[in-house]
Amino acid sequence: MVWRHLARYLANNEQLVNKLAESYPIRRAAQLTAYFYHSGRAKYIERKGEFQRAGGVRYIQRQGKQDINDMKLVMKDFTQVLFRPWIDLYKDISVQNLKIMFNDSEIQDKIDSTNNCLTLSIRLIRSFEYRNVRHIAIRNLNEQIRGSELKNIILKSLPSQTIPLPFKTFEFDTLKIEHYPHQAKTNDVVIRREDDEQFLIADDKTLRDYKIVDGTEIAFFKMADYETYKQNPVFLME
């Protein structure tokens, strides 16, 4: 949702918020959305007075939500109320349209960097037959990076990961999309064995080419081992 992207970079940029407020009546709503999405207790305390003046505390009390964590559960409804006139006017607004409307290079750069910031779950597969698997998270990835670049990023991060030593020195060479967020998983608990043409990530293609989004899980393995496993997908006990 475009408001989430807008809120992310407004969270700690008061000057930019004021600039937007000169032309668009969204300052309070943008500030509330920003710290709702990206705040902990400290920022809540810092802006508690403003939130109270906006009627947020009374709204939460009517919902029976008193705890700071519970506040986030009603955040979406509350910000929808604040943004309603704006959303009704621009129902089909996109990030690209937002950049054109504001016509500000700084805003464009910040939206681009926010929109391209991905966190991926990497499934390291050292052995298919023995189900020797570990998971790591790779953060702050741009959707324009290529498959070969993603491999290098993962490999360079392995020495600092809290995983067994054999995983840090294993010769991983292939990436494959395991599943996208909120979609059904494969029946094989180790790896998705079907649709190699669709899900194997080529070195010269970008994450965006595969419609990879935040939270996507990608398997990283050795291709020779994968081919052997596909021929005889069995589980062995040590």
Where, residue-wise, is CATH 3.10.20.90 in the chain? 118-231
Instruction: Check whether 155 has a pLDDT greater than 80.
Output: yes
Per-residue pLDDT reduced to its tens digit, 136-151: 999 889 888 999 999 9
Confidence tier at 231 by pLDDT (50, 70, 90): very high
What's the CATH number for 118-231? Answer: 3.10.20.90
- Per-residue pLDDT reduced to its tens digit, 179-208: 998 887 888 889 999 999 999 999 999 999
pLDDT at 132 over 50: yes
Q: Assess contact for 118 and 207: CB atoms under 8 A.
A: yes
| CA-only gyration radius of the chain, Å | 22
Single pTM value for the model: 0.55
Q: Are 212 and 164 in contact (CB under 8 A)?
A: no
